[in-house]
Amino acid sequence: MASWKKITLFIALLLTALIGGAFYLTGMPVKKALQHPPAAARAGDVIFQESMSDLSTAIKEATHSKYSHCGIILPKDGQLFVYEALQPVRYTPLQQWINRGRKGHYVIKRLKNADSVITQTTVQKMVDAGKKYNGKNYDFYFGWSDERIYCSELVWKIYKETTGLELGKLEQLKDFDLKSPAVKEQMKQIYGNNIPLSEQIISPVSMFNSPLLTTVEEK
């Protein structure tokens, strides 16, 4: 009987871990897919959303922006996917990515001179440049090395390597608003008492506000 109880407890804990893991990785529970795929999306576009995890809340409060997650739209197997730094870095079907955000809201931005810059050759360079990050762990420390990668860092580095363009202004951790309780709690969990205030960071909002980009779709 004791052995059966242990097995039952193990199964319950495993289910809890799986459900909790899904919530952690996506920022929200799985829900029925929406049927409103982006009409304007093109390879090389940058897509933004408001994710719904505790970390996302801290990012929004620190940057004063509702957009806390982004990815780059790239082709895979003949379709457009979002290449993103989640856990781990991976290609996510475009509609699935949209469904994860708050109320399915998203914004797609594109280089103002995309027609001359984002050629087929450039897109292939972006795909190739992204390969070295594929499968890497999400960087909860928001460091600038390539050992781990966070969302806006992935997009920024792919663009910089393939086009020479810098989407958004690089800042330091100390430049953000670190006073709110949500931000303080996340920083304590991540850094303890050794907060790297001079760490170089590219935030989603800095990329969102880049003068090099223009909005092509918002829903």
Q: In sequence order, what DSSP letters do the residues of 31-68 get, joined into one string?
A: -PPPS---SS--TT-EEEE---SHHHHHHHHHHT-S--
pLDDT of residue 36: 55
| 136 in any annotated domain | yes
Query: Average pLDDT over the chain, rounded to whole?
Result: 84
Kindly state whether residue 17 falls inside one of the protein's structural domains.
no
Is 15 within a domain? no
174 has pLDDT over 70: yes
Any domain includes 45:
yes
| Structural domain count, the chain | 1
Residue 26 resides in a domain: no
In a domain, 7, yes or no: no
Q: What is the pLDDT of residue 85?
A: 97
* Residue 98 falls inside a structural domain: yes
Query: Range of 195's domain?
Result: 37-218
Q: What is the CATH number of the domain that holds 162?
A: 3.90.1720.10
Which alpha helices (H) appear in 101-175, and where do they start and end? 114-117, 120-130, 151-163
Residue 5 belongs to a domain: no
Per-residue model confidence (pLDDT) at position 98: 95
pLDDT for res 161: 98
| Residue 12 confidence (pLDDT) | 35
Residues 185-219 pLDDT 10s: 888 988 998 999 999 999 999 999 999 999 999 99
pLDDT score, position 37: 58
